[in-house]
Structure 1
Amino acid sequence: MRGELLVVANDGDAARDLLSQVLSGSDAEVVGRWVELQVERGEQPPRLHEADLRAEAVAMLDGLRTGMASPLPLPEVVKAHEPLREALVDLSLRRARTGTPPADTAMAVLALKEALLEQAARLTADPGTLLAVAGEINRLLDAAAVLTFQAYVEGREEIIRSQHQQMLELSTPVVRLWRHVLAVPLIGTLDSTRTQVVMNGLLEAIQAHEARVAIIDITGVPMVDTLVAQHLLQTVSAVRLMGADCLISGIRPTIAQTITQLGIDLSAIVTRATLADALADAIRMTGDEPVRS
């Protein structure tokens, strides 16, 4: 039994030494083979060229090499060795931005196993050492694949959040209708998140354009309930705190009936049926009457 344990220990030490040797002296071969495998298997992202893949491979191998040389236990190298972790996260985020599926990203990392094992087989023919080094590589790169998958998912979620924010901003533009008069044409449902976007954009525009009147047009809002009314009141209050007046246009008959039935009090706010009516009132409020020829 002790003899068997000694053999395993020796194989493990030899495997660490061999893997360190592969990572230290075979960069060009491993990098080239890893890039080749990704291209052959279609795991190369559409907008990444071979030069990009090589740069990723070099960063990965540098991280693995310095991680193996660190005092960290092997299972902790991927999570705790910062250069390797950064290389893996950068690889994942780069692929997330190109729309590469997460499974392809993980498989690309796992392809490095094959490149490392091929290089190890060139350096030794001892079956025990090769088996042990395969175990070391599996533990390292399985953990690396999991990390890349997590980083990919987090990166995609961040991209989706950013795109959602951009869509909200694009869907609620602030339009300058007249000197000192701004308007926000709302289309669709007005929820808390969108209200905040509308409010931020409108208040910034009021300051930038020195506006005195803001019109919130709800012609494109399909339904006004208590929550929507509350959001509108919040926006109106914020506009008034900026020293501007606020009008609401687009009050259709059905919306007027709904507001009345719900007992929502909009009496303190100037409301108009159409944007044109609200604009005429806003021009009069600013005193900037158009000159008639």
Structure 2
Amino acid sequence: MQVAEHDTALEAAKDLGAFLERRREQIAQRWADAALFRTVFTVSRDEAVEACKAVVDALADVARSGRLEDVAAPGFDTVRDQLGRMSTSRAQAGFGSVHIDGEVVGLREPVTAMLRAESADATDQDVHARTLALTLLMGTLRLVVMDTTVHAGQELIARQRQQLLEVATPVIKLWEGIVAVPLIGTLDSARSQVVMESLLEAIVDQRASYAILDITGVPTVDSLVAQHLMKTVAAARLMGADCIVSGIRPAIAQTIVHLGIDLGSILTRATLADALAHALGRQDAVAPARPVAAGASPR
């Protein structure tokens, strides 16, 4: 009995594949007017139709293989490429996954209507088997699109988070040869890496001799934060810049002492102004003497 049901399902899937191939043009024309395609391909409807044809061809390949419920079926690679990009575009436009899922569900109705119309002379059993096969195929299509949408959404969130970290970690040129990074908020590993990369790039671009890390806006300093600061200072030194840490408030100083954190190798100042004054004083101290013109008395 199970073998017969399997054979019937496989035959229905192959029939569905042949149907999709025959009705490729009609399905593509109907889908091109659907919201999922229409709002993405706004320049040319012909482009939308071609994208729809590619998706129909991919679904026909899946149906002919009989792997209607297998998201790993080779035919779904094209679906991921076509519908995945479109659903990502919809997500970037502000539409949620539930809305996108509803748009994918809407693709099934015109195909079901065509399938029923073409199967008017078939037996009820054949019509039921083909309709079931189409339902399974479109259900798997929804899973593929949603998985692609979620994955793309995670990538978008990661990119936006990286952009926010960069924006929240500006490197400021305070004076010729002096740059500063005013840190505000919690320092974690990801942000500390951005701080280090941004600071080192600024040291190279500005040819800075001094870099100031101001932690006035950092609420707490623990061993992990201190470790990140020391790594940043060490990296700046390797780039030829002296690094000064400023903004160590009394409460943070006590915490550092209680934790037994050794910042002895790091130059510190109470405020950003103090750190800038120190850097300016050191620059004047090491500045080469100006040559005195002949006949002029030195000042």
Residue 57 of structure 2 corresponds to which residue in structure 1?
Answer: 62
The correspondence of residues 1-293 of structure 1 with structure 2, limited to 5 A, is 5=4, 13=11, 16-17=14-15, 19-34=16-31, 38-39=34-35, 44=36, 48=40, 51=45, 54=49, 56-68=51-63, 71=65, 73-76=67-70, 79-81=73-75, 82-125=77-120, 126=122, 127-287=124-284
Describe the superposition over 1:34-87 as per-residue Cα deviations: whole angstroms up to 9, x where unpaired: 455x55xxxx59964664865653332132234445x56444476322323423
- 2:106 aligns to what SS in structure 1? helix
Question: CA separation of 1:161/1:150 partners in 2, compared to 1, >3 Å: closer, same or farther?
Answer: same
TM value normalised by structure 2: 0.81
Q: Relative to structure 1, is the Cα distance of residues 47 and 219 closer, same or farther in structure 2, using a 3 angstrom cutoff? A: farther
Q: Structure 2: which amino acid aligns with 1:112?
A: L
Q: Quote the Cα distance in structure 2 between the aligned partners of 1:100 and 1:65.
A: 29
Letter in 1 for 2:278: D
Between the aligned partners of 2:280 and 2:174, the Cα distance in structure 1 is 10
Indicate the RMSD between aligned Cα atoms, in angstroms: 3.0
8 Å CA contact 1:11, 1:128 repeated in 2: no
What 5-or-longer segments of structure 2 have no aligned partner? 288-299
**Using the alignment, how far apart are the partners of 1:76 and 1:24 within structure 2?**
20
Q: AA paired with 1:79?
A: A
Instruction: Note the C-alpha offset of 1:169.
Output: 0.8
Distance 2:262 2:13 in 1: 77
Mark the CA change 1:73 to 1:257 in structure 2 (over 3 Å): closer, same or farther: closer
- How far off its partner does 1:154 sit? 1.2
* Distance in 1, Cα, partners of 2:214 & 2:59: 58
What CA deviation, in whole Å up to 9, does each residue of 1:213-236 have, x standing for no partner?
A: 100011111222222222211111
- 1:45–1:223 Cα change, 3 Å: farther
Taking a change above 3 Å as real, the CA distance of residues 163 and 283 of structure 1, as seen in their structure-2 partners, is same
Kindly state the Cα deviation for residue 12 of structure 1 after the two structures are TM-superposed.
Answer: 5.7
How far apart are 1:195 and its partner, in Å?
Answer: 0.8
Which has more helix, going by share of residues? Answer: 1
**Alpha-carbon distance between aligned partners in 2 of 1:117 and 1:139, rounded to the nearest angstrom:** 12
- Identity percentage over the alignment? 40
Tell me the SS of whatever aligns to 1:186: strand
- Provide the TM-score with structure 1 as the length reference: 0.82
Verify the 8 A CA contact 1:271 1:278 in the aligned structure 2: yes
Instruction: Work out the CA distance in 1 between the residues paired with 2:89 and 2:24.
Output: 22
The match for 2:297 is none
